[in-house]
Each structure stands twice: as structure tokens, then as C-alpha cells.
Amino acid sequence: MSIQLAFKALSDPTRRDILELLRERDMTAGEIAEQFNMTKPSISHHLNLLKQADLVIDERQGQFIYYSINTTVLQDLMSWLWTFKKGEK
């Protein structure tokens, strides 16, 4: 279930920071790692969890793999959250 994986992926601050970074532009794992005080394997682990949750997409461009945000699941989450507005008092 993607909503499940997505909420789990988003419960980690580093993974939210990665998404906020990718909001600016697509980046390679190396570029992302440079922005954090973390090893590249740690960043790769977080990127994999984001990928499993369909929150990011990786795409080869020439010799590099670029990560970008997949807005589809984020929109699914928003739709789910939106259902709670109806019953607002």
C-alpha cells in the first residue's frame, strides 16, 4: 500500500529534508549527500525508502542518475487528508 509506505517514509526528518531539497531541482545522490552531514550509503538508504514509497523517481541522464519528486503519491496523501476537512466543525 503506497499511502502506508509514504507516511512511513515521511516520518523521517532526513527524508523530508531530501524532498525539500529536490523541490528546488533534480539532483544526483552525490549532490544530495553533499548537502547533509551523512555518508553516501546513508543517503542511498533514505533515497531507496523514498523510491519504494514512490515519492521520488530516479532517471538516468547520461552517466548520472538523477532523483526527482514524484508528486502523484503526495497528491494521494493530500486527497486523503482533505477528506477530514468535510467534517470540520
Burial 39-59 (b: 16+ CB within 10 A, else e): eeeebeebbebbeebbbbeee
Asked whether position 77 contacts its own copies by CB under 8 A, the answer is yes
Among the listed ranges 35-43, 44-52, 58-66, 72-80, the one in contact with its own copies (CB under 8 A) is 72-80
Residues numbered 29 to 58 that lie near its own copies (CB under 8 A) are none
Looking at the DSSP assignment, which residues form a beta bridge with residue 58? 67
Nearer to its own copies, 4 or 63 (CB): 4
How far, in Å, CA of 6 to CA of 36, rounded?
22
Contacts with its own copies, residue ranges (CB under 8 A): 1, 3-4, 7-8, 10-11, 13, 16, 19-20, 23-24, 69, 71, 74-75, 77-78, 80-88
